[in-house]
A and B are shown apart, each in its own frame.
Chain A
Amino acid sequence: MRAVLVSVTAALALGAPGHARADAATPPSARETPGEDDCAVEPPQKEFASSAWGTAAVFLPGALVHGSGHLVVGDSKTGLRLLALEGAGLGMLATGFVPIVLSGASRRLVGPAAALSAAGVGLFAISFLADLYGIVAPAGGVGAPSGVAPALQTALGYRYVYNPVFSYRQFMVQEIDYRTGRWRLHPSAWFALDDTNSRLRSHFAYRLTGPLPGPERAARDGSFLDLEAAVTRHAFTSQRFTTTTGELAVAGRLDMAHLGPSLRGSFAEMSVGWALQAYSYGVRGTTADVGELLLFRFGYGMYIGWPGSPRGEIALYYDHRHDGFAAGLKMPGLGSGVIGHFGAETRFFLSNHWGVAAEAALGSAYVTGLSVLFRHGEPL
Chain B
Amino acid sequence: MKALPQPRPVLRTILVIALYGATGLGCVDVAEERARRDETIGKGASAETTFEIVDGLGAIRRLEPGVVSLWAKAPSIQIKVTRGESAPATWLLTVSNTLPDAVLEASTESGATALAPESLSSAIATEKRWGLTIPGGTSALFLHSRRGEPVAPWRFAVLSDIQEAIDRVQDIYARMNADPRITFVVSAGDLTTQGKVEQLERFQHELESLRVPFFPTLGNHELGTEGGAVYQRRFGRASFRFVYGGMQFTFLDSASATVDPLVYGWLDAWLAEGRSRTHAVLMHIPPIDPVGVRNGSFADRNEANKLLAKLAEGGVDITLYGHIHSYYPFSNAGIPAYISGGGGSIPERFDGIGRHYLTVDVDPERGITQTGVVRVDRD
- Show the binding face of A for B, using Cβ within 8 Å: 27-30, 50, 101-108, 110-111, 114-115, 132-133, 136-143, 162-166, 234, 236, 239-241, 243, 274, 277, 279, 281-283, 285-287, 289, 291-294, 302, 304-306, 308-310, 314, 316, 322-323, 327-339, 342, 344, 360, 362-366
CB-CB under 8 A for A236 and B333, given A333-B223, A365-B28: no
Q: Is the CB of B300 within 8 A of A165?
A: yes
Given known contacts A104-B348, A165-B261, A281-B308, what 14 new A-B pairs fall within 8 Å (CB)? A111-B294, A132-B17, A141-B10, A309-B2, A328-B295, A328-B299, A329-B299, A334-B221, A334-B223, A337-B299, A344-B18, A360-B18, A362-B22, A363-B28
**9 A-B residue pairs with CB within 8 Å:** A138-B7, A142-B4, A240-B313, A281-B312, A329-B299, A332-B30, A332-B227, A336-B255, A336-B299
* CB-defined contacts of A285 to chain B, threshold 8 Å: 312, 334
Please pick, from B2, B264, B326, the residue contacting A306 in the complex, using a CB distance under 8 A.
Answer: B2
Please pick, from B9, B26, B221, B347, the residue contacting A138 in the complex, using a CB distance under 8 A.
Answer: B9
* CB-defined contacts of B326 to chain A, threshold 8 Å: 104, 107
Closest 10 CB pairs of A and B: A292-B292, A337-B257, A328-B299, A336-B257, A327-B300, A364-B300, A286-B334, A104-B348, A294-B293, A142-B7
Q: Decide if B325 is an interface residue (CB 8 Å cutoff).
A: yes
Quote the shortest CB–CB distance from B200 to chain A (angstroms): 16
Please pick, from A166, A333, A362, the residue contacting B306 in the complex, using a CB distance under 8 A.
Answer: A166
Please pick, from A111, A163, A331, A360, the residue contacting B293 in the complex, using a CB distance under 8 A.
Answer: A111
Quick one: closest A residue to B294, CB to CB? A110
* CB-defined contacts of A107 to chain B, threshold 8 Å: 290-291, 294, 326, 348, 350-351
Q: Decide if B76 is an interface residue (CB 8 Å cutoff).
A: no
Q: Is the CB of B306 within 8 A of A140?
A: no
Please pick, from A28, A30, A106, A133, the residue contacting B10 in the complex, using a CB distance under 8 A.
Answer: A133
Quick one: closest A residue to B193, CB to CB? A334
* CB-defined contacts of B334 to chain A, threshold 8 Å: 281, 283, 285-287
**Cα–Cα distance between A140 and B2 once the two chains are bound (Å):** 14
Of A136, A137, A138, A337, the most chain B CB neighbours within 10 A belong to A337
Please pick, from B25, B227, B295, the residue contacting A342 in the complex, using a CB distance under 8 A.
Answer: B25
Q: Decide if B5 is an interface residue (CB 8 Å cutoff).
A: yes
Q: Is the CB of B28 within 8 A of A138?
A: no
Q: Is the CB of B305 within 8 A of A330?
A: no
Q: Is the CB of A322 within 8 A of B295?
A: yes
Quick one: closest B residue to A240, CB to CB? B309
Quote the shortest CB–CB distance from A360 to chain B (angstroms): 8
Q: Is the CB of A331 within 8 A of B351?
A: no
Q: Is the CB of A322 within 8 A of B301?
A: yes
Q: Decide if B119 is an interface residue (CB 8 Å cutoff).
A: no
Q: Is the CB of A328 within 8 A of B256?
A: no
Q: Is the CB of B293 within 8 A of A110?
A: yes
Quote the shortest CB–CB distance from A304 to chain B (angstroms): 7
Q: Decide if B332 is an interface residue (CB 8 Å cutoff).
A: yes
Q: Decide if B1 is an interface residue (CB 8 Å cutoff).
A: yes
**Cα–Cα distance between A165 and B14 once the two chains are bound (Å):** 31
Please pick, from A29, A241, A331, A334, the residue contacting B5 in the complex, using a CB distance under 8 A.
Answer: A29
Q: Is the CB of B301 within 8 A of A336?
A: no
User: Which residues in chain B, 273-322, are within 8 Å of chain A measured between CB atoms?
Assistant: 285, 288-303, 305-306, 308-309, 312-313
Of A30, A114, A283, A365, the most chain B CB neighbours within 10 A belong to A283
Quick one: closest A residue to B256, CB to CB? A336
* CB-defined contacts of A294 to chain B, threshold 8 Å: 292-293, 295
**Cα–Cα distance between A95 and B324 once the two chains are bound (Å):** 22
Please pick, from A105, A282, A362, the residue contacting B309 in the complex, using a CB distance under 8 A.
Answer: A282
Quote the shortest CB–CB distance from A104 to chain B (angstroms): 4
Quote the shortest CB–CB distance from B348 to chain A (angstroms): 4
**Cα–Cα distance between A338 and B30 once the two chains are bound (Å):** 15
Q: Is the CB of A163 within 8 A of B300?
A: yes
Q: Is the CB of B346 within 8 A of A114?
A: no
**Cα–Cα distance between A333 and B334 once the two chains are bound (Å):** 31
Q: Decide if B121 is an interface residue (CB 8 Å cutoff).
A: no
**Cα–Cα distance between A32 and B249 once the two chains are bound (Å):** 76
**Cα–Cα distance between A331 and B257 once the two chains are bound (Å):** 9
**Cα–Cα distance between A302 and B261 once the two chains are bound (Å):** 39
**Cα–Cα distance between A240 and B4 once the two chains are bound (Å):** 51
Q: Decide if B86 is an interface residue (CB 8 Å cutoff).
A: no
Quote the shortest CB–CB distance from A122 to chain B (angstroms): 16
Please pick, from B1, B305, B313, B350, the residue contacting A103 in the complex, using a CB distance under 8 A.
Answer: B350
Quick one: closest A residue to B349, CB to CB? A103
Q: Is the CB of A104 within 8 A of B325?
A: yes
Q: Decide if B259 is an interface residue (CB 8 Å cutoff).
A: yes
Q: Is the CB of B261 within 8 A of A309?
A: no
CB-CB under 8 A for A289 and B9, given A104-B349, A283-B313: no
Quote the shortest CB–CB distance from B335 to chain A (angstroms): 8
Q: Is the CB of A309 within 8 A of B294?
A: no
Quote the shortest CB–CB distance from A254 to chain B (angstroms): 19
Please pick, from B3, B25, B295, B297, the residue contacting A331 in the complex, using a CB distance under 8 A.
Answer: B25
Q: Is the CB of A337 within 8 A of B295?
A: yes
CB-CB under 8 A for A241 and B223, given A292-B292, A364-B299: no
CB-CB under 8 A for A329 and B26, given A142-B4, A165-B264: yes
* CB-defined contacts of B351 to chain A, threshold 8 Å: 106-107
Q: Decide if B110 is an interface residue (CB 8 Å cutoff).
A: no
Q: Is the CB of A327 within 8 A of B349?
A: no
* CB-defined contacts of B13 to chain A, threshold 8 Å: 132, 136
Quote the shortest CB–CB distance from A191 to chain B (angstroms): 16
* CB-defined contacts of B309 to chain A, threshold 8 Å: 239-241, 281-283, 286
* CB-defined contacts of A328 to chain B, threshold 8 Å: 257, 295, 298-300
Quote the shortest CB–CB distance from B323 to chain A (angstroms): 8
Q: Is the CB of B258 within 8 A of A330?
A: yes
Q: Decide if B370 is an interface residue (CB 8 Å cutoff).
A: no
* CB-defined contacts of B291 to chain A, threshold 8 Å: 107, 110-111, 292
Quote the shortest CB–CB distance from B218 to chain A (angstroms): 12
* CB-defined contacts of A162 to chain B, threshold 8 Å: 28
Q: Is the CB of B302 within 8 A of A236?
A: yes
* CB-defined contacts of B301 to chain A, threshold 8 Å: 243, 277, 291, 293, 322-323, 327
